Amino acid sequence: MYVGTLSFDLLLGDVRSLKEKRSVVRPIVAELHRKFAVSVAEVGDQNLHRRAEIGVAMVSGDTGHLAEVLDRCERMVAARPEVELLSVRRRLHGDDD
């Protein structure tokens, strides 16, 4: 069994309130969950208007499949025009960890 995680640090565009922030972050979280069947949530920077941290996690029996899905998640978030992807942190955990 392997577990892969991604942590996205995002800079949001012209967002002036937490309500506007939710209207940008929620669709990203929902699309990641729907398209890739991963666990995903906003995990940090909840009180900052223009920053967001989104965490993604996935369990798989195959590291190749795990890496492929995480790559596709990263490309999807990077392609979103309303956010700037500042950094991505990726971790893979196996049975030996």
Q: What is the CATH number of the domain that holds 17?
A: 3.30.70.1120
Q: What range does the domain containing 20 cover? A: 2-93
Given strand 2-12, what is the order of strands in its sheet? Answer: 39-44, 51-60, 2-12, 83-93
CA distance 56 to 29: 9
pLDDT confidence of 6, banded at 50, 70, 90? Answer: very high
Residue 46 DSSP code: T
Contact (Cβ atoms closer than 8 angstroms) between residue 89 and residue 43: no
Against a cut of 0.85, is the pTM above it?
Answer: yes
Residue 55 backbone phi and psi in degrees, to 5: -110, 140
Domain count, the chain: 1
CA distance 26 to 19: 11
Q: Please check the confidence at residue 95 and state whether its pLDDT lies above 90.
A: no
Q: Please check the confidence at residue 3 and state whether its pLDDT lies above 90.
A: yes
